[in-house]
Amino acid sequence: MVNTDDPTIVLLLLFGGVMLLLYGVRLVTDAMQRALGARLRLVMMTLSQRLGAAFMAGVVATVLTQSSTATASVLVGLVSAQLVPLAAAVVMLLGAAVGSTLVVQLLAFHITDHALEMLGLGAAVALFTSRTTLRHVGRGIFSFGLVLVGLAMIDASSTPIAASPITKVILQALSSSPLVLVLTGTLLACAFVSSTATIGLVLVLAAGGALPLNAALAVTLGANVGTTIAPLLTALNRGSITGRRLAFIYVGTRLFGAVVALIALKELTALLHSVPLTPAAQVSLFHLGFNLFLAILFAPLVNQLAQLATRLLPEPTTIEKSGSRYLDSDALPMPAVALGQAMREILRMADVAVEMLQLSIHAFEDGGKDIPKHIAALDDQLDDIEAAIKRYLMRLSEDLMTPEQAKREIALLYISTDLEAIGDIIDKQLMRLARRQRRKQIAFTLEEWNDVATYHGETMSLLQKALAGLASQDAMIADEVLVRRSSLNQTKRELHLRHLHRLRSGSASSLDSSAIHLEMVNGISRVISHTCSIARAVQGEF
């Protein structure tokens, strides 16, 4: 038996219980995410089209991972990658908040009395599943046993703490300052990175009499607000503008509910006092009611919330100069999703490459002086996206991919390399020629210009066709591109012959214009080669 009359023992018991609680919650979350994380993300994406199913997906995901914070962070990533619509993600968050209250209901009904039995059962399951595919589930059950032991230790220390005159003085002072208690709950949830851990601590302290009901309710409100901070930081750190909208909606709805409940705190305390339940059960009932209230209030308004967030956080008007937009590290355990995100980034690269090729011909015209500088900036953007795609695809585990997915990964690497090479040809070769032409004030004859402009236009059409085949994964379109190449090779030969005839007849404007003309044709021909390489990758030939 532990001597709870010794203050040192009591403090050590409290400290040890809190540490065990935090460690157990973290282990539960990690274990269940490893066991079910990829499947849960896939379920979230599948069910996001129906709001009722999306709500239940949020509930189930949080019950399994024991962390609404983890669920919210995953949703921020999925929304940032545009894999889940914003309105559906808001509904899932409301469901996640309700799901986080269910385990609290278990804690309220003295489940800690059986903490050692649960720990032993969890250890047995973890031991017998250690070499099976269920090993992470076994570790999750064992970790939940650690959570219960930690709560039992806190429970054992709470009785002598509650009986202390110093505690009564402190709590009487805090009871008159509910705002301080709300801030305390917010800070605890931020520090624990878990509202469940914070509210579990509150339940035990309330059950032992160390925390009056009104104070426990205020701390619970703070914990519900504090659980939004980690997803908000995730969105601000690496989320897209859509992910930030979701995070701000999450914070805003929680804050609104907390303010309303804080205003009515005295009435709510009196109402709960009239319910014939233990103090811990009263707190858990309040926690459940608070989240159900927010779900009932905001679920019908998710589209309006999404529209409001879009107005408050509009899309940036400036061009994104570097970095990826869709690549999400959380999707790496799901190769099909990760490859889809890489494809979206490659289509971004394709848009940039098309813009560069369209602009390139105008750099040789009057008024195109600033085009080379703009193309250089676009080429830098292309290089950054290509590097991000390569780093991302190299992190995919070969063990998780099917042979078909492994082949698709290689194809995407080839395509991103070809698009980056097209950008380099335009920036390093064609724009160098444009600057030389402008510097030396070289003019093309009408025939020379028409030949180059026509060849450029046909190349532009070929690149767009190849990229259409890439976007639709249509091998027939890729075939058309490859068939078209032979005629373009013939066009190149004819351009060279016509140019040589002009030189011999003296109709070419100058030797300098001749050199630029031939280099432009060769550069455009190199773009055609890489375009056909993209078409072959679409066909699966590389």
> Rounded mean pLDDT of 406-420?
93
Residue pointed to by tokens 């806190």: 154
Percent of the chain, pLDDT > 70?
75
Residue 320 gets which letter from DSSP? P
Distance CA 109, CA 84 (A): 37
The pLDDT score that the predictor gives to residue 365 is 85
Distance CA 174, CA 11 (A): 21
Distance CA 476, CA 415 (A): 18
The answer to whether the beta carbons of residues 14 and 307 sit under 8 Å apart is: no
The pLDDT score that the predictor gives to residue 315 is 67
Give domain 329-539's CATH superfamily: Phosphate transport system protein phou homolog 2; domain 2 (1.20.58.220)
Q: Each residue of 253-267: pLDDT tens digit?
A: 999 999 999 999 989
The end-to-end CA distance of the chain, in Å, is 72
**What is the dihedral angle through the alpha carbons of 298, 300, 303, 304, rounded to the nearest 10 degrees?**
-60
Residue pointed to by tokens 């030389």: 436
| pLDDT: which is higher, 486 or 528 | 528
**How many C-beta atoms surround the C-beta of residue 218 within 10 A?**
29
Closest CA relative to residue 218, chosen from 185, 191, 244? 185
Question: What percent of the residues of the chain are helix, what percent strand, and what percent coil, each to the nearest 5?
Answer: 85, 0, 15
The pLDDT score that the predictor gives to residue 120 is 80
Q: Where are the domains of the chain?
A: 7-312, 329-539
Q: Each residue of 159-172: pLDDT tens digit?
A: 666 566 666 566 66
Residue pointed to by tokens 């009263």: 282
Residue 322 gets which letter from DSSP? S
List Cβ neighbours of 472 (8 Å cut-off, separation of 6 or more). Answer: none
Which range (53-67, 128-142, 238-252, 493-507) has the least confidence? 128-142
Closest CA relative to residue 243, chosen from 77, 52, 474, 99? 77
The pLDDT score that the predictor gives to residue 154 is 66
Residues in the chain: 542
Residue pointed to by tokens 């072959």: 536
> Measured between alpha carbons, how far is residue 20 from residues 13, 27, 153 in Å?
10, 10, 9
The answer to whether the beta carbons of residues 261 and 289 sit under 8 Å apart is: no
- Residue 367 parent element (H or E): none
The pLDDT score that the predictor gives to residue 510 is 55
- Residue 274 parent element (H or E): none
Residue pointed to by tokens 């193309």: 375
Distance CA 246, CA 374 (A): 34
Closest CA relative to residue 344, chosen from 323, 319, 324? 324
Q: Each residue of 192-202: pLDDT tens digit?
A: 666 666 777 78
> Does the pTM exceed 0.85?
no
